[in-house]
Amino acid sequence: MSPLLVKARPGSTIVEVTPESAGWTHVGFAAHRLAAGEQLHLETGSRELCIVVLTGTVTVQAGGQTWEHIGNRQSVFEERSPYAVYVPLDTKVSITAVSAAEVALCSAPATTHRPARLI
């Protein structure tokens, strides 16, 4: 499957491209829609993760840290940078939508454990 042919779909998972589904070696990508109050829970396993807040506002918990009410864009076309959170391998993650939000999950294999942090 060509990753260029992956199209957005309705529902909470906008798109999901794994290294296996795309024939890639490393990078994975997913984007999710969350209604206000909705949560997304995951574990990074052997991959590191960058959570990018595309639109809306969320609270992220990862690696014993919490970043509350991050994100301030109503559209990905606004002229401001998005908030992002780096999450290392072997970490539980919880994303809670404070308002309706869209988040991107970008992942890659990792072997070194670094601290989670707000970018």
Return the DSSP state at 45.
Answer: T
Mean pLDDT by 10 residues, the chain (119 residues): 50 61 71 95 96 97 96 92 96 98 94 94
Q: What's the pLDDT at 15?
A: 58
Is residue 95 within 8 Å of residue 40, measured between CB atoms?
Answer: yes
Q: Measure the CA angle with vertex 64, ends 58 and 69; round to 5°.
A: 20
pTM of the model: 0.82
What is 3-118's CATH topology?
Answer: Jelly Rolls (2.60.120)
Q: What's the pLDDT at 29?
A: 84
Q: How far apart are CA 12 and CA 31, in angstroms?
A: 9
